[in-house]
Structure formats: structure tokens, C-alpha cells
Amino acid sequence: MADNIEKKNIFIVEDDEVTALNLSISLKKQGYEVVATCHDVGSAKEKMLHIRPDIIIVDISLQDQSDGIEFAKHIRNVYRIPFIFLTSYSDDAIISEAKLTEPYGYIVKPFEPGSLHATIQMALFKYEMEQTRKESAPVIKLDKLNLEKMLQNKRVSDKPIVPFGEDYHLDISICETFYKGKKIKLTKKENAFLRLLVAQLGHVVTFEQAIEYVWEDHGATENSVRTLVWRLRNKLATDIIKNASGIGYYIEE
């Protein structure tokens, strides 16, 4: 099974010794190299100072219910290495919190070796595609004047209406968004980010563009953008905001 796999280095962060051992044995049988195994966040962060795995498998819970999620945020912000959550949780609140970190996959306990391998391969492929998109993504400087021009060009005839998604429209004269004719109540930042997405329909709004335009570079991070998108998605009637993993977000034209 492992003959055609390019050997990849994997770091396991799992506090259950039996699960960690079973993972390690299964991964080695499939041709992966397990470079380290840690049982808590503190030792995992220390280990990351000395290794650079290709991918990390991390239990959502570890010692504390959300320790794994906090470690995933650290990996996303500091190292930008793909990670997969290992979980036995079906709790909606835990899963919602985990989604904010935008993992590259989930493995449900007890894991099945074939599913484990497939999840890792898909995560690695997704990460490689993400890096390719990053390298080819155009850098567009967006200021308020440029954004207004882009929105004006998307108007329907002479009306200040820009349709998007299905049954949504942005009224650029009053800076309000509507779904099936009903106004959606948004915060100032949510409204600004949605205007960015609508102005660039079909194109990715990068984390950098969002931070620069919505927060005006005042201390925001990629996690600030992810949290904003999570809240905005909860206010929209349909799932129109798409992920461009590791780059940003977009709405299809």
C-alpha cells in the first residue's frame, strides 16, 4: 500500500497513549514517517521549535476540552503547516469552534486506516493547491475610492443595486444588504467585508485585503477575519461565502 507514497513526515499530538500508538503503527505501515508524538500542548509547542513536519494530527480535546483547538490556532498563525483534527466529539459548540481554525480535515475516533490515509492525502493535496493559488493570486490594492468604482460598475442599469449570490442584493446608496427584499442587520465590519466580497465577485478577497480595508491595519490578524466570516455566515440565509483555504474568501459570480 505504501510503495507509491512519497514519504511524508507526520507529527502526532494526542493525549491518549493507546490512540497515539495505534496511529503511529498505522501511519508507519502506510509509508509515513512519524517524526514525533506529544501528549500535551506545552511539549508540542516546544517540539515545534525543532521539527518541521509535513502535516500534524492533533486531538481536539487533549487535557482540556479546547486545548487542541488552541494548538491548531498556534500552528495556523505561526507555522502555516496543514493540520487534521482527531476527534470523538459530536458537540456542535466544539465543532463550531474547531471550524474557525479551518482544519484540512477531520478523523473520527475510532479511526479506520484506509480513511486515515485518504484524509491525509486529501489534506496534503489541498495544502499544495493552496500554495499554488497563493503564488498566482493577483495583489489588488483596495481603498474606499477604488472599491466604490468597482461597485458602481456592477450596478443593475442606473439603479444603485448590485445583485449577488441568489436572491441577495447590495444597495450601495445606503450601504445595506438585502435577502429576498428583507434587510440583513450587519455590524460595521461585517458590512465592510461583505462590500469587499461583492466588489470582487468571483475573485478572492485575501486576508491582507480584509485586514487593510476592514480594520485599516489596526492590529487585526487572520483569525480576526475568520471570526468575522463565521459571524457573517451565521447571519446570511444561505452559504454563499466560500473558502480559498489559506488565502481568503470569495463569493461566486
Domain ranges of the chain: 9-136, 144-251
pLDDT surpassing 90 at residue 124: yes
Q: Give Cα separations from 157 to 17, 82, 161, 194 (angstroms).
A: 65, 45, 9, 21
Closest CA to 44 of 18, 68, 9, 77: 68
Question: Which residues touch 15 (CB under 8 Å, ≥6 apart)?
Answer: 39, 40, 59, 61, 62, 63
- CATH class of the domain comprising 9-136: alpha beta
H or E stretch including 17?
helix 17-29
Say if residues 160 and 173 touch (Cβ distance below 8 Å): yes
pLDDT value at residue 22: 94
- Name the more confident of 20 and 217: 20
Report pLDDT digits (tens) over 137-196.
555 666 677 888 888 888 887 889 999 998 999 999 898 999 999 999 999 999 999 999
pLDDT value at residue 238: 93
pLDDT value at residue 2: 46
Looking at residues 231-252, what average pLDDT do you find?
A: 89
pLDDT value at residue 38: 94
The span from the CA of 123 to the CA of 55, in Å, is 8
Q: Lowest-confidence range among 30-39, 55-64, 88-97, 196-205? A: 88-97
Say if residues 147 and 196 touch (Cβ distance below 8 Å): yes
Report pLDDT digits (tens) over 99-109.
888 899 999 88
pLDDT surpassing 80 at residue 32: yes
Select the CATH number that applies to the domain covering 144-251 from these four: 3.40.50.300, 1.10.10.10, 1.20.1730.10, 3.40.50.720. 1.10.10.10
What band does 3 get if pLDDT is binned at 50, 70 and 90? very low
